[in-house]
Amino acid sequence: MIDSILFNLMLIGFLGIASQWLAWRFRMPAIVVMSIAGLLVGPIFGLIDPKADFGDMFKPIVSLAVAIILFEGSLNLDFREVRGLGKPVFRIVTFGALLAWIFGSLGAHYVAGLSWAVAFVIGGLFIVTGPTVILPLLRQAKLKPRPAAILKWEGIVVDPFGALLAVFAFEIINFLISEHVTATSLLLFFAASIFAGVFGWLVGKFTAFIFEKGHVPEFLKSPVVFVLVLASFAISDQIMHETGLLAVTVMGMTLANMHISSIDDMRHFKENISVLLISTIFVMLTASLSVDTLLRIFNWNIVAFVLLMLFIVRPLSIWLSTIGTDLSNKEKLLVGWIAPRGIVALTVSSYFASVLLEKGFEDASILTSLTFALVFSTVVAHGFTIKWLAKKLDLAIDEQPGVVIVGGNSFSTELAKTLQELKIPVLIADSSWQRLIPVRKAGVPFYKGEILSEQTEYYLDLTPYEYMIAATELDSYNALVCTTFVPEIGRNNLFQLSLRNQGEVDLEDMVHTIGGRILFQENVTWEELNKRIERGDVFRKTSITEKYRFEAYLEERDENTLLLFALKPSGRIEFFTEGASPKIEQGDTIVSLTQRCKEMKKINEKLAEQRENNQNGNVK
């Protein structure tokens, strides 16, 4: 074992982020990779043991990390997102959670062999899914908006209530078996839960007030929120264990629905922090498991309980709770299958295992093994099947990366038609009906609205689109659009047309710090591109093969031909940009803008070649 806390912290962080990168690179569930990494460096090879290394600081570190992750998730819970889904979401997080608690507790008693007291504590805890596992899966699977919204809301809202249910069940047990515990203790539990909710709401309101009134400078807003989240969690949790999760969830939902101007900056900051915390905490937890805990997972009672939770408890609770809602059978099937457990289940179960053992419940010794078995099984099963099942049920968005073009004009319309011919999802967004007339006539999908408006997030689903091109006549607007969408799309996939006045120093300086990558060649501006379309230039698609290499294509092309992008066999698009060109290989398709006379010449040459081949065939 490595005897250095500093080195262990570095190793945990490195493994977490490396796991995220490997999952992204090879299209695997990130949680699975992180779990395997933690098991390898922890119980299997014994390189680190975070629980022993960090000592008394281990639980507070994990608890505060879970609070921040839960707050970041709840910061995305805007009620406008569930328009038309209010009834099924409400039924799932209330009636569905209650059914899952009852069914899970019955299974824990009759199948896992736990006493009634321990079964009802752990049954309440196992209703949670949580943002630590749901959000990475949703990013990976690219579900359609309805099932994605349901799973996200359930995961975030039910997370604190699962912990509270476990606490409630424990308080009931105390009340029944202990002579020193009275009904006052139960009343205190409910009072503490109500206080946590109200306190989280007040902190959220206070945060919005000081931000909107300008009492906090921009550079301090994210740190202030960070500290207030920790305070909200710690104060509530100090009053009653596990109520802090409720406080930060309510705080995040309050801020999300007040629509303050700083919400996006906070959301992006917290999302970055959340990814880092999820990566490190999951590695820490799995690395802290003992070999004995892992071996006990193969107990037949535990295996049978996991299968029961996977194939009966979850589907049945979702199916019963959504009777009478407008969810389709396909949506019920997908939501009823996807319920991975994560960090909250692992951390809270370890707490209750020790507390219940102190109370004399010897069967609580298997809680950690039982919980990890359920966590790992659900993460693996749901992580590897969510995309496949969503595709089979037609609830996933096409994997082919799409393109959003901002600005309706002649060039963007023709470019969109070409992308459609290549089976690439495309959409043109513009706030003017007048500019969208040629787009609509061409049969290209469009969105009428301001792309920078806050409302766009709730009326336009950008999940299918990995690339964005700002193609309006205003350079500053194009730069603003690209800068705004950096967190969602990524700077490498944001493009804008060449600046019209490249000679001005201030614009050249600007493009290095804000805006997107400049498309095509220098001085190929909005005016130049639209003039080419109006004079009759056409888009040409050329396949690069073993016989017809890229070098030959460059030699034969007309000097006025403008290279636009290359479509890779994998479906990825690589644009030609100012100062950089994609590496063209065999199997790629190059799309260019060329003069019609050149195109007609090519067509005539092909026709002549076909006639010659036909004549030779007739002679033979």
Chain-centroid distance, C-alpha 488: 10
Contact predicate 41/287, CB 8 Å: yes
Dist. CA 241–CA 488, nearest whole Å: 36
Closest CA to 354 of 330, 371, 338: 371
In this prediction, residue 49 has a pLDDT band, given cuts at 50, 70 and 90, of confident
Highest mean pLDDT among 200-209, 548-557, 558-567: 200-209
Which of 349, 368, 392 is a domain's end point? 392
Q: Are strands 573-575 and 562-567 parallel, antiparallel or unpaired?
A: antiparallel
* Of residues 514 and 173, more confidently modeled: 173
Give 524's contacts (C-beta < 8 A, 6+ positions apart): 497, 498, 562
Together in a domain, 375 and 416: no
Residue 160 lies in a domain: yes
User: What is the predicted pLDDT for the residue at 269?
Assistant: 63
Together in a domain, 349 and 467: no
Together in a domain, 127 and 165: yes
Contact predicate 65/273, CB 8 Å: no
SS3 for 348? helix
Mean pLDDT of 42-71: 83
User: Is a pLDDT exceeding 70 seen at residue 339?
Assistant: yes
User: Is a pLDDT exceeding 50 seen at residue 522?
Assistant: yes
User: How many beta carbons lie within 10 A of that of residue 534, not counting itself?
Assistant: 10
User: Is a pLDDT exceeding 70 seen at residue 105?
Assistant: yes
Mean pLDDT of 280-292: 84
Together in a domain, 138 and 216: yes
Q: Which amino acid is at 307?
A: L
Together in a domain, 495 and 611: yes
The percentage of residues in the chain with a pLDDT greater than 70, rounded to a whole number, is: 86
* Of residues 525 and 2, more confidently modeled: 525
Please state, rounded to an integer, the average pLDDT across all residues of the chain: 82
Q: Write the DSSP assignment of 441-467 as a string of letters.
A: HTT--EEES-TTSTTHHHH---TTEEE
Neighbour order of strands in the sheet with 517-518: 446-448, 426-430, 402-406, 465-470, 494-496, 517-518
Together in a domain, 386 and 486: no
Q: How many domains does the chain have?
A: 2
Q: Which residues sit opposite 543 in a β-bridge?
A: 589
User: How many beta carbons lie within 10 A of that of residue 432, not counting itself?
Assistant: 11
User: What is the predicted pLDDT for the residue at 333?
Assistant: 93
Q: What is the token pair recorded at 375?
A: 């966590």
Least confident of 91-100, 147-156, 295-304, 504-513: 504-513
Residue 326 lies in a domain: yes
Together in a domain, 500 and 525: yes
Together in a domain, 260 and 148: yes
3-state secondary structure string across 246-271 = HHHHHHHHHHHCCCCCCHHHHHHHHH
Dist. CA 517–CA 481, nearest whole Å: 12
Integer-rounded Cα radius of gyration of the chain: 29
The conformation of residue 491, written as its DSSP 8-state character, comes to: G
Which of 392, 418, 442 is a domain's end point? 392
User: What is the predicted pLDDT for the residue at 504?
Assistant: 46
User: What is the predicted pLDDT for the residue at 180?
Assistant: 63
Residue 159 lies in a domain: yes
Residue 278 lies in a domain: yes
The percentage of residues in the chain with a pLDDT greater than 90, rounded to a whole number, is: 14
Helix H or strand E segment including 111:
none
Closest CA to 348 of 170, 199, 547: 170
In this prediction, residue 511 has a pLDDT band, given cuts at 50, 70 and 90, of very low
| Residue 382 belongs to domain with CATH number | 1.20.1530.20
Together in a domain, 410 and 363: no
SS3 for 532? helix
* Of residues 113 and 270, more confidently modeled: 113
Contact predicate 424/402, CB 8 Å: yes
User: What is the predicted pLDDT for the residue at 503?
Assistant: 47
Mean pLDDT of 287-292: 84
| Residue 529 belongs to domain with CATH number | 3.40.50.720
Residue 397 lies in a domain: no
In terms of Cβ atoms closer than 10 Å to its own Cβ (0-12, 13-18, 19+), residue 427 is buried
The 10s digit of each residue's pLDDT in 567-604 is: 888 888 889 888 778 888 888 888 888 887 655 556 55
Give 564's contacts (C-beta < 8 A, 6+ positions apart): 415, 519, 520, 539, 575, 576, 591, 592, 593
Dist. CA 133–CA 172, nearest whole Å: 30
User: What is the predicted pLDDT for the residue at 211?
Assistant: 85
Together in a domain, 192 and 237: yes
Residue 48 lies in a domain: yes
User: Which residue matches tokens 């990475």?
Assistant: 136
User: How many beta carbons lie within 10 A of that of residue 320, not counting itself?
Assistant: 13
In this prediction, residue 2 has a pLDDT band, given cuts at 50, 70 and 90, of low
Contact predicate 153/78, CB 8 Å: no
Mean pLDDT of 25-38: 80
Residue 429 lies in a domain: yes
* Of residues 165 and 175, more confidently modeled: 165
Together in a domain, 205 and 289: yes
User: Is a pLDDT exceeding 50 seen at residue 506?
Assistant: no
Which of 368, 392, 416 is a domain's end point? 392
Q: How many CA atoms lie within 13 A of 554 on its CB side?
A: 5
Together in a domain, 385 and 408: no
Residue 536, sorted as left (phi over 0), alpha (psi -120 to 50) or beta, turns out to be left
Least confident of 5-19, 138-152, 403-417, 538-552: 138-152
In this prediction, residue 57 has a pLDDT band, given cuts at 50, 70 and 90, of confident
Residue 620 lies in a domain: no
Query: What range does the domain containing 602 cover?
Result: 402-615
Dist. CA 448–CA 431, nearest whole Å: 5
User: How many beta carbons lie within 10 A of that of residue 130, not counting itself?
Assistant: 26
Q: What share of the chain is helix, strand, coil (3-state, %, to 5)?
A: 65, 10, 25
Mean pLDDT of 44-62: 84
